[in-house]
Amino acid sequence: MLLVEHSYKQRVHIDIEGIVQGVGFRPFVYKLASTLKLHGYVRNNSKGVVIEVQGKQEVLKDFVKQLTISYPPLSRIDTLEKKEISLQEEKGFEILFSTATQATAMLPPDIALCDACAQEFDDKSNRRYQYPFMNCTDCGPRFSIIKALPYDRKNSSMEPFLMCQECQLEYENPNNRRYHAQPISCYKCGPQLYFESFQTSNNEGKLSAMEATCKAIESGEIVAIKGIGGFHLVCDASNDESVKKLRKRKNRERKPFAVMFTDLKSIEDVAILTDEEKELLQSAQKPIVLVKKRENNLLSKVVAPNIDIIGVFLGYTPLHKILLEKLSVPLVATSANISDAPIMTSEMQIGEHLSHVADAMLFYDREILNACDDSIVMVQGEERLLIRGARGYMPRSFPLKEQSKKKILALGANQKNSIALAFAKSVVISPHIGDLNSLDAVEYFKRMLGVFEALYDFVPDVIVCDKHPAYETRLWAKEYVQKHSNVQLLEVQHHYAHTMACMHEKNLHEEVLAFCFDGTGYGDDGTLWGGEVLLATPQTYQRIYHLQEFALLGGEKAIKEPSRVALSLLFATYTLDEIKSMKTQLVKSFSKQELQSFYTMYIKNINTPKSTSIGRLFDGVYALSNHLEKLDFEGESGMILEKEAQKSQTEQSYTFTFEGDSITFDGVVKGILQESKTEEIAEKFMNTVVEMIIRVAREYKNHPLVFSGGVFQNRVLLEKVIQACKKEKREYYIQNETPINDGGIAFGQLYYALNYKG
């Protein structure tokens, strides 16, 4: 009789790894098991979720099937392993306390306010009506408040806030949407808001903090406001004087500001949106989306001057929602930091370092443990590009098909830095860390390393870095390996890492033809690459073509002063006497003495590093088309040329030739000097870059094409490249899930290390 019983009853042990903590996965399992009248339990551990479940064999099959197809929207199952175990005497299904094991569970990112919470937020009969910190298992802070795995309240910055009885009942009820939502709180037991003015001693109490903030913004003041992963500097985006004041105080002359809106309609009043852009704006991540501005709109003209693109996003926290509804105007919301430093996370930092920029601050008493900036996304045609991977998207995990034999740490680049880890069967990418151009930024980079090392109990066996001898990431790696002789160091060329990032994301293993176009990257020959064509596999690469070398007059100064790049292009194409006789605005902008001095530098190679960068070529074309002012931010020249190109309808391009493995630009320079219209120059130049790509691609007809590097963030260029690939019927790949710029370098470095055979 016992054998018959066992023939149709079964107990299985299930281990699930992936994004299964902080996303409502255990309540989902509980409800599913209870509905199917199964017995057992579910619990978190440091790897993910463990389930033991007992019942009829056919019901268990249905249970496992439902696990894999009906899981919560924010969760992701990477691996599910099950095995049959002995039956137990047990009634009902329970959710048990977490257990500690070696940490491999995937960290959940911070998620915007969900629709269910938004409805409660607007419901006057709800006890959390307009509560600034409303959240549930489907939304709210995650990564920014976590200090250890498993993701439990005691391991977060919510630990000091003792739940009231009502919150406790919700937290303990598996059928409640807030079951084990770690940031759960309410007016009675949660964080409190505070307002502090830096201009007067009349600081409002916590009960009037929101009103005081609104009054300050309405008066034209700048307020530092604490968000999920850091502070924003906020002002009225329709107020010219406020935006000008913010620019002056931040020393940010023209770099565009992102603008936060209350709803989609208010964004459509100032921007032209595609369906995919609307979808992105309303997604659970609610990133900043780069969209096309309407010519006439209510925003201040100095929010995003000289360009036709603007970064827009919807308020993603309840606190934002309150502000936007009370003020009824869009708000500039830019990261609160000083130049080349990371986003600030504490009121003490704001008071010490930004009280000369902000007039006041609105903050709360829950600590931000892990800084996380806003993500930035753009859409071009069918392609969705992640420009900055942060809140909502990162930390991001990817499953590995095969277990990594070693723990690998990839350090990324110096610009737009992020780091990546591989261990067990997982890859984890950190949120955007930023440019490592200051001591504060380098210290933040080290802190972020410490965060991930602590969360995953991670000690690297292998470290991967860029080859650039002056990169802070490489200097850190060298120092670490000197102190830990058992750790292997791998150095990966910058543009090969770009290629590998796309190959990693798209799961490409065959040889590809890769076009890596960006601003700079240290080349194998010691020059600054950036216009590279590579034949690449996961193990090796060959540089088959590159842009003709040119000099950067004055080194790094040329990056900010595009007229220096343009002058270098002239030196490479004409004699000095020919240049002196030119009547162009570019040549007239230099005195005879300056021309002679720069030419001497050029001829004698004095502070004139060589570059093959398409990004710098963009700068040179920008200046050759009579834009002679210094650049205020990276990519400004490309964005202005992008705007100009859209005014033209020409399909013509400039001439170029192949000399060995070099693609010459003298035909481009000569052609531009014959033009009178900036829009014609811009579009012909874009067409020329596309023609360069297609001519090379035709030599390698059977290779998949890979495009990576920051230059491909240019909308017009990207659209033309895609159209050309389709016309040629070529298979092509562009990153979508990881940043196409230097923010994806660590991901590429990791792929190389995972495939390294040495």
Quick: pLDDT tens for 681-716: 999 999 999 999 999 999 999 999 999 999 999 999
pTM above 0.85, yes or no: yes
Asked whether residue 439 is assigned to any structural domain, the reply reads: yes
Asked if residue 164 has pLDDT above 50, the reply is yes
Residue 522 belongs to some domain of the structure: no
Tens digits of per-residue pLDDT, 71-103?
888 788 888 888 988 888 878 898 887 665 555
Q: Is residue 474 part of a domain?
A: yes
Q: What's residue 2's pLDDT?
A: 40
C-alpha–C-alpha distance, residues 708 and 744, integer Å: 9
Structural domain contains residue 257? yes
Instruction: Residue 138: count other Cβ atoms within 10 Å of its Cβ.
Output: 20
pLDDT at 526 over 90: yes
Interstrand relation of 705-708 and 512-522 (parallel, antiparallel or unpaired): parallel
pLDDT band at residue 5 under the 50/70/90 scheme: very low
Check which CATH number belongs to the domain holding 586 and give it. 3.30.420.40
Average pLDDT over residues 240-245: 96
Residue 46, pLDDT above cutoff 80: no
Residue 91 Cα distances to 175, 273, 296, 503, angstroms = 18, 54, 67, 50
Give the DSSP letter string of 408-432.
Answer: EEE---SSSB--EEEETTEEEEPPP
Tokens standing for residue 260 = 């936060």
Secondary element (H or E) of residue 361: strand 360-364
Q: Are residues 176 and 249 in the same domain?
A: no
The type of residue at 162 is L
Higher pLDDT, 199 or 596: 596
- Any idea what the CATH number is for the domain that residue 37 is in? 3.30.70.100
Beta-strand pair 9-19/76-85: antiparallel
Q: How many Cβ atoms are within 10 Å of 676's Cβ, its own excluded? A: 7
Identify whether residues 224 and 308 lie together within a single domain. yes
Q: Give me the pLDDT at residue 103, please.
A: 54
Number of domains in the chain: 5
Residues 258-278 have a mean pLDDT of 96
**518: in domain:** no
Q: Are 729 and 522 in contact (CB under 8 A)?
A: no
Q: Does some domain include residue 521?
A: no
Give dist(CA 569, CA 587) in Å, integer: 12
The pLDDT tens digits of the residues spanning 6-21 come to: 447 889 999 988 888 7
Residue 348 φ then ψ, to 5°: -65, -45
Q: Which of 599, 645, 651 is nearest to 625 (CA)?
A: 645
Residue 396 makes CB contacts below 8 A (sequence gap 6+) with 109, 389, 428, 429, 737, 738
397 plus 289 within the same structural domain: no
Q: What is the pLDDT of residue 1?
A: 35
Contact in structure between 10 and 82 (CB atoms under 8 Å): no
CATH number of the domain within which 462 lies? 3.30.420.360
Task: Return d(Cα 293, Cα 434) in angstroms, integer.
Answer: 27
- Dihedral sign for Cα atoms in the order 612, 615, 619, 625: positive
Please give the Cα distance from 439 to 340 (Å, whole number).
Answer: 9
pLDDT at 90: 79
Q: What is the mean pLDDT of the chain?
A: 92
Two tokens at 738?
Answer: 């990881």
Tokens at residue 469, please?
């001898």
533 vs 390: CA distance, rounded Å = 29
Query: Do residues 496 and 563 share a domain?
Result: no
Contact 499, 536 (CB under 8 A): yes
**Residue pLDDT, tens place only, 538-576:** 999 999 999 999 999 999 999 999 999 999 999 999 999
- The amino acid that residue 92 corresponds to is G
Q: Identify whether residues 210 and 223 lie together within a single domain.
A: yes
Residue partners of 349: CB distance under 8 A and separation at least 6: 231
Q: H or E element: which one contains 698? A: helix 678-699
For residue 207, the Cα-to-chain-centroid distance in whole angstroms is 36
Q: How far is CA 433 from its chain centroid?
A: 9
- Rounded to an integer, what distance in angstroms lies between the CA atom of residue 594 and that of residue 591? 5
Which pLDDT does position 536 carry in this prediction? 98
Cβ-contact 674, 750 below 8 angstroms: no
Is residue 173 within 8 A of residue 184, CB to CB? The reply is: no
Q: Given this model, what pLDDT does residue 99 score? A: 63
Is residue 333 domain-shared with residue 384, that is, in the same domain?
no
- Compute the residue count for the chain: 758
Distance from C-alpha of 685 to C-alpha of 641, rounded to nearest angstrom:
9
Q: 498 and 601: one domain? A: no
3-state secondary structure 702-726: CCCEEEECHHHHCHHHHHHHHHHHH
Residue that terminates a domain, selected from 149, 174, 191: 191
Strands (E) located in 86-192: 93-95
What is the H or E stretch that residue 82 is in? strand 76-85
Give the model's confidence band at 202: pLDDT under 50 very low, under 70 low, under 90 confident, else very high. Answer: low
pLDDT tens digits for 342-389?
A: 899 999 999 999 999 999 999 999 999 999 999 999 999 889 999 999
Determine if the peptide bond prior to 395 is cis (ω within 30°). yes
Give the residue from 31, 60, 95 where a domain finishes.
95
Instruction: Report how far residue 151's alpha carbon sits from residue 148's, in angstroms, rounded to the nearest whole number.
Output: 7
In this prediction, residue 484 carries a pLDDT of 95
Answer yes or no: do 554 and 495 share one domain: no
Cα(289)–Cα(125) distance, integer angstroms: 34
Burial class (CB in 10 A: 0-12, 13-18, 19+), 118: middle
Contact between 529 and 521 under an 8 Å Cβ cutoff? The reply is yes
Cα 30 from Cα 36, distance rounded (Å): 10
Q: Between the CA of residue 511 and those of 316, 441, 514, 726, what are the distances in Å?
A: 42, 37, 9, 20
The CATH code of the domain that includes 246 is 3.90.870.10
CATH code, 147: 3.90.870.30
Residue 402, token pair as written in the block: 């095969």
- Give the model's confidence band at 201: pLDDT under 50 very low, under 70 low, under 90 confident, else very high: low
| Average pLDDT, integer, range 133-148 | 92
Q: Among candidates 718, 708, 701, 696, which has minimal Cα distance to 751?
A: 708
637 assigned to some structural domain: yes
Residues 337 and 210 in one domain: yes
What's the mean pLDDT in 165-170?
96
Asked if the structure places residue 548 within a domain, the reply is yes
| Alpha carbon distances (Å) from 172 to 26, 35, 604 | 12, 19, 75
Count other C-beta atoms under 10 Å from residue 610's C-beta: 16
- Quote the domain boundaries for residue 398: 377-510+740-755
Query: Mean pLDDT across the stretch 210-239?
Result: 96
Please check the confidence at residue 207 and state whether its pLDDT lies above 60: no
Beta strands in 560-711 (DSSP E): 610-611, 658-659, 662-663, 705-708
Q: pLDDT category, 725, cuts 50, 70, 90?
A: very high
563 shares a domain with 492: no
Q: How far apart are CA 471 and CA 455, in angstroms?
A: 26
Q: Is residue 338 pLDDT above 90, yes or no?
A: no
- For 148, the token pair is 């250890």
pLDDT at 467 over 70: yes
Predicted pLDDT at 397: 86
C-alpha atoms less than 13 angstroms from C-alpha of 189 in its C-beta half-sphere: 15
Tokens of 147: 């200090």
Decide which of 125, 157, 191 is a domain's last residue: 191
Residue 251: exposed, middle, or buried by beta-carbon count in 10 A (0-12, 13-18, 19+)? exposed
Verify that 132 and 221 share a domain, yes or no: no
Residues 333 and 254 in one domain: yes
